[in-house]
Amino acid sequence: MNAQHYEIGMVGLGVMGRNLALNMADQGFPIAGYDVDPAKVKALCQETGQHDACAAADIKEFIALLRRPRAVMMLAPAGGPVDSVIRDLSPHLEMDDLIIDTGNSYFKKKTNRNFPTK
């Protein structure tokens, strides 16, 4: 694995995260994946083939793979898991790094958020 080589980081290598990472690698984007489940990390590593992709089960190793400023996509279940991922990533990120939450919430869940209007 090449330090600071990968353009995009993917956190969450379940079905959606792994397939999105593989699709992005298919399109020529060097991508590094991260998951706390070593089996999911291994699955991505086995499926990368000729693509410029890799995965890590250690968050420090994962962050070290990413080119600065870092772009990290998250595919984690809404709520507590998202908060947990952000808490785990934050100490390792710097100014200008970007976290993109690409997950979704349960469609029947109602929110009381008031979004600002112009």
CATH number of the domain that residue 57 is part of: 3.40.50.720
Residues 62, 33: Cα–Cα separation, whole Å: 7
- Residue 50's alpha-carbon distances to 2, 25, 46, 54, 56, in angstroms, are 15, 9, 10, 11, 18
Residue 99 lies in a domain: yes
Domain span at residue 56 reads 1-11+25-71+95-103
- pLDDT tens-place string over residues 12-53: 999 999 999 999 999 999 999 999 999 999 998 888 877 888
The pLDDT of residue 116: 54
Q: Does the predicted model carry a pTM greater than 0.85?
A: no
- In degrees and rounded to multiples of 5, residue 72 shows phi and psi of -120, 120
Residue 49 lies in a domain: yes
